[in-house]
Amino acid sequence: MTETRKHHVRLALMFGAYIFLHTTTLLLANRESNGYISAALEENLYYIHMTFMILGLLSFAPINRLTKDKTKPFDAFLLILLAVGIVILYSIKRAWVFVGIGSMAVFCLGYLGALVYWRMSMETVTGSRTGLVMGVGCGAAYTLQYFLEGHGLSLVLPVVIVFALVSLGFVLLKHSEVPQYTAENKDNEGIRKNLICAVIIASGLIFFNSFFNGYLHHLQIQSNFERIDAYAWPRLMLVPVYIGFGLLGDKKQGKYIPIASLCMGLVTLLHSALTASETAYWINMCLFYFSIASAASYFSIVFWNIAPKTRFPELWASTGRILDALAVIIMGILKFSSLPTAAVLALNIAVIAVLIITMAVNSDFNFFMQEVQTVKTEMTSEEAMGILGRRYSLTPSEMKVTKELLLTNDKQSEIAERLSIKVGTVQFHATNIYRKTGAENRAALARIYNSIIEKTDIPT
């Protein structure tokens, strides 16, 4: 396996582990509270947790700025705190645990989520296949969560939770290097327009889920999570949608994601009504998860592409998650799920119209125009070398030889003399460099180096 593939596997492990912990922790903090707290508190518990999720998501950006990207001690602390919270939620069934410890665990999830989304965003702009990583990670996480959870918490689930925690910590702490991206004219007029349009479109796509989400949450509690359960088999419908959107996301910087999300929104207009028919209920559940996956794919991939070109990439990378949690709270307070079906359908159609107009303004339908005029960022050779070294885990000695191989045409004997080392040492390092990068020779290594620089072009 080449180092590039290993790098993508690590990213998929990080993202999949986070999504698994996200869904499992929310399940422990919300669904498992059934029967242990009052129905009134249970109705509002989810909204309380979403408030702490937002606080966690928002906390990462200032901490990252204040520590100048040196957040590893804080990351480790919150990861341990999350692990402790999960253990308590899993073993102690008390009202104060679901409210207090649950809120603490969800805050940690929010912070770690912002960190993961920022990492994915910075990887996106340097050429990693984060769309496929997202699809595979989410697919694996939701499939595992469904089969392990079943109708009660499986005995195997704690083992998988530990594995997810260790995997997330391994990637975030041991492989903590984040690719650097330097661009001129950050937050210029074009980027600001893209951000505004992305926020409007993401909010619209999230809005589609609001009625069904609130209504479903209410019905789950009323039925004691027996007849109606959001964690039942339709949840698996998330998997093909995430993978499909992930593959699209790696094409032309996610150009096709907005129109694919719009098409999914049109289809899921059908889930505005949850009828008494059992068949219609299951169809609606499947459509609901189609809609959730398309909206989440949109706000992940689109914001990952835009965030590094802004002044606050740590914040914008997870904006979709913030909007999603905020929508849950607002729609819950407004009792949106209690509106008549006709009113909800009319609102959804109005949102579709707004989405179409916004996408047109943002040129999301211009597939056949000359797509990209590029402005080269002034990435220095040192910055490109830094990305190369981090991506392929090159040692300091290997980096010295790599620079000579890439930036000169000298023979190995000349390189050895300049570096004051033996020719055999240069050959040894060169062999390791080629093995790690998957390059067959010096020319192939140069192509990898040049591809890193080319991936820093900025669409204008």
Instruction: Say which residue, 211 or 118, is predicted with more confidence.
Output: 118
Q: How many whole angstroms separate alpha carbon 28 and alpha carbon 360? A: 42
Domains and CATH numbers, the chain: 3-177+187-361 (1.20.1250.20), 380-459 (1.10.10.10)
What are the tens digits of pLDDT across the range 406-415? 888 888 888 9
DSSP 8-state class, residue 336:
G
State if pTM tops 0.95. Answer: no
Mean pLDDT, residues 263-287 taken together: 67
Helix boundaries (H) for 308-437: 313-316, 319-333, 341-361, 381-392, 396-407, 412-419, 423-437
What are the tens digits of pLDDT across the range 353-364? 999 999 998 888
Mean pLDDT, residues 328-340 taken together: 73
CB 271 within 8 A of CB 89: no
Apex CA 362: angle with CA 136 and CA 343, to 5°? Answer: 80
The CA distances from residue 432 to 5, 129, 194, 392, 446, in Å, are: 17, 24, 43, 11, 15
In angstroms, the first-to-last Cα distance of the chain is 36
pLDDT band at 322 (very low <50, low <70, confident <90, very high): very high
Element (H, E) at 458: strand 458-459
Predicted confidence at residue 216, as pLDDT, reads: 57
Range with top average pLDDT, 53-62, 122-131, 157-166, 435-444: 53-62
What are the tens digits of pLDDT across the range 188-208? 778 888 899 999 999 988 887
CB 390 within 8 A of CB 177: yes
Signed CA dihedral, 45, 51, 54, 60: sign only: negative
